[in-house]
Amino acid sequence: MSEALLFVLVGGAVAGLLSGFPVALALGGVSILVALLGHLVNTVDLALLGALPGRLVSIMVNETLVAVPLFVFMGTVLEKSKLAEELLVTMGQLFGNRRGGLGFAVLIVGAMLAASTGIVGATVVTMGLISIPAMRRAKYKESLSCGLVCASGTLAQLIPPSTVLILLGVMVQDANTQAQLRMGIFSGDPLTVTDLFAAALLPGLMLVGLYTVWMLLVAFRDRRNCPPLEMSDDMRDALVRKVLVAMVPPLALIVLVLGSILSGLATATESAALGGVGALVLALCSGRFTRQQLSEAARSAMLISVMIYTMLIGATILSAVFRILGGEEVVASLLTLIPGGALGATLFVLGIMFVLGFLLDTFEIIFIVIPIFGPALLMLGVDPLWFGVAAALVLQTSYLTPPFGFAIFYLQGVVDGLKLSTVYRGVAPFVAIQLFAGVLIWWWPGMVTWLPGLLNS
């Protein structure tokens, strides 16, 4: 009977999500209904849910999760203040006398925005509104422009400080704790979000490097479709000043936030607070940040943060009922039956996340897949840091992959006259690069584990 209820639980949760019902209510509501059904057939003891209120309170007071609204606020302030737009234009002019210069600028600014906003949707929309008109004026090939914007925007999944990495860190940490409890192993070194930030930094920079190499090849091979920018003498004379004004302050903010985290001088939450205040100061110093823009940035950050917290509460209820029904034992048995041992099980779980990425938002996938499969997978000996980075990379790839990649639809939604087939052609090379990056971190796991080990030594 428990197996049947597990099927109803998972199937009902997925059906609720696909129906468009609010995520938190779908996950939490279906879980409670299944628990009540289990109680009626004498399968579930509702007394076991007595610890649930304590779990929900612990979510609300979790210091690490406080970083989420703070980083989101940092990103919305940079977006609303138009600092990101100035950054792109200035960077484009800096590379302006070279073929593909604007393309390099889009990649670099996309990486910087990824380190500022931490949210894929916001980064893709912002880059689309800023970059596509500029690249059209520069007579760039439309598919190339779309591919660059989508690829650079999705870097927000992997480059720290990322809200995706924060939530992955919290969920993987919980899965690791559950795995250790079941195996009777109690490590004195808990996984932290700072560890995951450090683990994701080199793979994120590697991905930016691979994108840049591709842009170099395109510029060398296809000169007509990525011409240099036309600049007047006055624009060249004012370029040094614009670089100092538009690039140095945001870059300094990113270095300050990341540096304080990785050096151990501040926790992720303290650095997030520093980033939020720093972004606000930069916006006010620009002289164009109005009270209305501040209100819009705060409201946007509040809505996104509340959405994340409510989804996390719903996922916690789902996870509790799943464990009561013995779901962890069922999943552990399933993963041991997959050929290839830990590698085969890991590819299976990452494959599920990749496919779900076509249908569900990243946060929803994290809150569903990690609690269900994470403990059993880590019990097979998979490194939790490596798994967290691999999961972020897979979710980033699914955001790019046709025909259902979310980044594709974000871009088409904000750019007029854009055909889906054009975007598909543009993102295809970057999907291949993403897959190649996944092979690289599998072949060389030290790329993920080296920096956290160095910082913790």
In sequence order, what are the residues at sequence separation of 6 or more whose Cβ sits closer than 8 angstroms to the Cβ of residue 209? Answer: none
More confident residue, 390 or 333: 390
Point out the least confidently predicted range of 74-83, 207-216, 264-273, 333-342: 74-83
What average pLDDT does the segment 83-101 reach? 68
- Rounded to whole angstroms, the Cα distance separating 283 from 84 reads 11
Dihedral sign computed on CA atoms, order 347, 360, 447, 373: negative
Q: Are 367 and 27 in contact (CB under 8 A)?
A: yes
Q: What pLDDT score was predicted for residue 286?
A: 75
pLDDT band at 422 (very low <50, low <70, confident <90, very high): confident
pLDDT band at 386 (very low <50, low <70, confident <90, very high): very high
Q: Let me know the angle formed at the C-alpha of 364 by 177 and 187, rounded to the nearest 5 degrees.
A: 10
Point out the least confidently predicted range of 65-74, 404-413, 419-428: 404-413
Q: What tokens were used for 270?
A: 């303290």
Point out the least confidently predicted range of 1-15, 189-203, 238-252, 365-379: 238-252
Q: Which long-range contacts (CB under 8 A, 24 or more apart) does 187-192 make?
A: 189/456, 191/384, 191/385, 192/64
CA-based nearest residue to 161, from 34, 56, 266: 266
Instruction: Tokens 């620009």: give the residue.
Output: 286
403 cis-preceded (ω within 30 degrees of 0): yes
What average pLDDT does the segment 42-70 reach? 73
Backbone angles phi, psi at 247, to 5 degrees: -100, -40
The SS3 call for residue 270 is: helix
Residue type, position 314, single letter:
G
Q: What pLDDT score was predicted for residue 229?
A: 64
What average pLDDT does the segment 374-380 reach? 86
Residue type, position 291, single letter:
R
- Rounded to whole angstroms, the Cα distance separating 110 from 183 reads 42
H-helix or E-strand spanning residue 207: helix 193-221
- Rounded to whole angstroms, the Cα distance separating 405 from 63 reads 32
The SS3 call for residue 140 is: coil
Q: What pLDDT score was predicted for residue 115?
A: 66
pLDDT band at 308 (very low <50, low <70, confident <90, very high): confident
Q: Are 116 and 73 in contact (CB under 8 A)?
A: no
- Rounded to whole angstroms, the Cα distance separating 106 from 135 reads 10
- DSSP designation for 383: -
The most confident of 4-18, 149-163, 186-200, by mean pLDDT: 149-163
Q: What tokens were used for 266?
A: 């501040």
* pLDDT digit string, tens, across residues 33-47: 888 887 777 776 666
Res. 65: pLDDT tops 60: yes
Res. 454: pLDDT tops 60: yes
Angstrom CA distances, 139 to 176, 230, 341, stand at: 51, 11, 51
Q: Please, is 61 exposed, middle or buried when counting C-beta atoms within 10 Å of its C-beta (0-12, 13-18, 19+)?
A: exposed
DSSP string, 320-370: HHHHHTTHHHHHHHHHHHSTTHHHHHHHHHHHHHHHHTTTS-HHHHHHHHH
Q: What pLDDT score was predicted for residue 163?
A: 78
Q: What pLDDT score was predicted for residue 233?
A: 56
More confident residue, 69 or 75: 69
- DSSP designation for 238: T
Dihedral sign computed on CA atoms, order 349, 121, 309, 66: positive
- Rounded to whole angstroms, the Cα distance separating 220 from 100 reads 9
- Rounded to whole angstroms, the Cα distance separating 211 from 34 reads 46
CA-based nearest residue to 169, from 202, 206, 194: 194
CA-based nearest residue to 182, from 445, 377, 34, 5: 377
Res. 217: pLDDT tops 80: yes
* pLDDT digit string, tens, across residues 3-35: 777 777 777 777 776 676 776 677 788 888 888
- Rounded to whole angstroms, the Cα distance separating 393 from 200 reads 9
Q: What pLDDT score was predicted for residue 316?
A: 78
- Rounded to whole angstroms, the Cα distance separating 411 from 126 reads 9
Q: Are 365 and 357 in contact (CB under 8 A)?
A: yes
Mean pLDDT of the chain: 79
Q: What pLDDT score was predicted for residue 4?
A: 78
